Structure 1
Amino acid sequence: MKALVGLVTLAAAVSASAASPRVNNGRIVDEHGMTLYSFSGQGAPDANACEGDCARNFPPALASPGDSPNGKLGLVDTATGERQWTYDGKPLYRGLMDKKPGDRAGDGLNTVWHSVQPR
């Protein structure tokens, strides 16, 4: 029982300590070095803005409990009550088509998805 409690405590500590987005090679990336994207279309991302399922291909870059805004990196509440990272007020998304750190397969997709370059 003590081992189970210890594992649960460790898992909670690891998930709560995920790093906030950062700059790497001129782009905003997540804690694993994966490129983050913004959506430049009208309104929220929808089926017309994606090839396939938008929510699956570009899931929101969610913050961990305890994360806080820093400079142009902010947080916004989602419709599901989670907190999503933003950069300069624009929500950030992960690109599931990227396979390794540094990939930018979603950059320019449908002319509305862009890797985020800090200004």
Structure 2
Amino acid sequence: MMKTTILAAVALAAFAGIAQAGTTTFQAVNTPDGQVLAGQNGLTLYTYDKDARDQSVCYGSCAQNWPPYIANSSAQPFAHYSFVVRKDGQRQWALNGEPLYFRAADKKTGDITGQNADSGNWQVARPA
């Protein structure tokens, strides 16, 4: 019985850590296009239709205009959120396997300048 109680306490602590990581790493923000997923800085996150599942193809000038959402070294995947590993070894956040990016032109919370950009290849990410 004691073993079950200890395991339950460990599981609860792990879940609490995961929940906290999610609330500090991502947030939902209101925009003229409804709620969107934003990073810790409050700026809208986007997905790129040309990316493959679990792989980014946005490098060079693409990454200058669409900075990848890079995870810090202590970040852990949780729920629908995981990482893709970029060519330089950095871990980029992904939602359901889709790499997440900011738009350099977005300056404040609620900006969605990248919605349907590049012939519709960029989409705002929606909260999971």
Distance 1:20 1:42, change over 3 A: closer
- Matched residues, percent identical? 30
The answer to whether the Cα contact below 8 Å between 2:51 and 2:99 also exists between their aligned partners in 1 is no
Aligned residue pairs, count = 96
Paired residue for 1:55, among 47, 53, 63? 63
Q: Give 1 or 2 for the bigger CA radius of gyration.
A: 2
In structure 2, the partner of 1:50 is: none
> Structure 2: how far apart are the matches of 1:62 and 1:77?
10
Paired residue for 1:95, among 93, 98, 103? 103
> Structure 2: how far apart are the matches of 1:112 and 1:46?
15
**RMSD value over aligned CA atoms?**
1.8
How many angstroms does 1:21 deviate by?
A: 2.1
In structure 2, the partner of 1:24 is: 29
In structure 1, the partner of 2:48 is: 39
How many angstroms does 1:62 deviate by?
A: 0.1
How many angstroms does 1:65 deviate by?
A: 1.1
How many angstroms does 1:118 deviate by?
A: 2.9
The structure richer in helix per residue is 2
How many angstroms does 1:42 deviate by?
A: 5.8
For structure 1, the 5+ residue unaligned runs are: 1-18, 48-52
Paired residue for 2:125, among 89, 105, 116? 116
TM-score, normalised relative to structure 1: 0.73
SS in structure 2 of the partner of residue 55 of structure 1: helix
